Structure 1
Amino acid sequence: MVRPPTAAQRRVIEGADPVTGRLRGGTEAQLAALVRQGLAFRHPRPPHDHFLTPAGHRIREAVPEEVVEEPSAADSGVFAARIGGEAEPPEDGPARVREVHSAWQGLLELRRMTNPDGATDRPCGWERTHLVQAAALALEAAGHRPAGPDGDSGGGDSDGYRVRATPQPEAVAVRQPDAEALAACARTLEKAGWQTGEHTDPRTRARYLLASPRRT
């Protein structure tokens, strides 16, 4: 059984970049210990930075038992892609555009570093464990507009996209009332390395996408 990280090691893990997992602090001894525990790896190429493994990401994102209320993404300062329908969406503007662009570039770098062949044209392990956020980031980075709160504009679009989890493993649902915009979402996700298929909701008869990360 792997020994849980010490308080000092946990601080290093919690200080990692939320998208790429790059460790931005810690002594050489702490980093080496995290590598031995399988919570981080040292990149083979210069400058030989350290990055969290999927196990390290799980520890970083675990909610402590004593936490009663989950803070919002805005309160935590952690980047969160717009999934559509947020009650308190982040403000639009140049700052948000830069933030989304930076997150997308960081995700491409994570693909390059963690896919066995260094490919950036298909999703990596992090995306497979964060399906909704990963699909939403691909859409937002490509300029698609998310739905606002309860379908209102509110920083989004009444005809904007919504990304939601599904009971199916490795699949998310993307809903978009406008048929042309839904097709555009499919093209964006396919370009970002996802497989998509259009389906009809048997209850509402609305069309939606079922999207899953491509493996090859």
Structure 2
Amino acid sequence: MTRPPTTAQRRVIDAADPVTGRLRGTEAQLVALVKRGLAFRHPRPPHDHFLTPAGHRIREAVPEVPAEPAPSAGGFTARVGGEEPQETPASGPARLREVHSAWQGLLELRRMTNPGGATDRPCGWERTHLVRAAALALEAAGHRPAGPDGDGYRVRATPQPEAVAVYGPDEETLRVCGDTLERAGWQAGAYTEPRTRMRYLLASPRRV
């Protein structure tokens, strides 16, 4: 039977980036995780270390406080739209770099965990973090999340399994957000809420 990670190794695993699985720790800790099959060293510079699927399973086995759509402490969180001003990440070049890095890390996670290394459809992590995953796809594509004025997209959870709702100020916003999600491996269709007559997208991760 495989020995569980040590307390120090577990702290490194638990502190991994929630989207990309990027690890931070001493060289000895990272090497030990690689030897145990819980991490891998990226072949391209800067040769960062990331969790393997086995490492992600260990990390996800710990019950977490629900973090959708609230930002997670200490880690990257895609903007879902409509955040309170104190919860809104700073914009500008630094934010763009963070979003790009998170999206590239998510594609790498797809490659590692999807059958056949497919990167054209969502992976297991996305299916358990639907709001954050859809929001990352939209923000990475350059769409603007809703601010205090309400202009922009808003991603929200729904009672339906494996489905999120995307709201926008107009049909054009919904159309372009739908196109982006389709390219990112989601299925999206436009619907009208019966009571409010508000238009929205219902989006689900594509399986094949």
Using structure 1 for the length normalisation, give the TM-score. 0.78
Partner residue of 2:193 out of 179, 182, 201: 201
| Shift, 1:22, TM fit | 3.7
Decide whether aligned partners of structure 1 residues 209 and 27 sit closer, same or farther in structure 2, where only a CA change above 3 A counts.
closer
| Shift, 1:89, TM fit | 0.9
Decide whether aligned partners of structure 1 residues 50 and 144 sit closer, same or farther in structure 2, where only a CA change above 3 A counts.
closer
| Shift, 1:7, TM fit | 2.5
Counterpart of 2:81, as a letter, is G
- Counterpart in 1 of 2:122? 123
The 3-state SS of whatever aligns with 1:204 is coil
Q: How many corresponding residue pairs?
A: 195
Residues of 2 paired with 1:22 and 1:145: CA distance? 26
Between stretches 4-13 and 163-172, larger displacement belongs to: 4-13
Between stretches 190-199 and 13-22, larger displacement belongs to: 13-22
User: Is this contact kept in 2: 1:172–1:210, CA < 8 A?
Assistant: yes
User: Is this contact kept in 1: 2:156–2:164, CA < 8 A?
Assistant: yes
Aligned counterparts, 1:55-134, within 5 A: 55-59=57-61, 62-63=64-65, 73=71, 76-87=73-84, 88-134=87-133
The 3-state SS of whatever aligns with 2:58 is helix
Structure 2 unmatched runs, 5+:
none
Percent identity between matched residues is 65
Residues of 1 paired with 2:88 and 2:63: CA distance? 21
Decide whether aligned partners of structure 1 residues 199 and 189 sit closer, same or farther in structure 2, where only a CA change above 3 A counts.
same
Decide whether aligned partners of structure 1 residues 29 and 184 sit closer, same or farther in structure 2, where only a CA change above 3 A counts.
closer
Using structure 2 for the length normalisation, give the TM-score. 0.81
Q: Aligned-residue CA RMSD in angstroms? A: 2.8
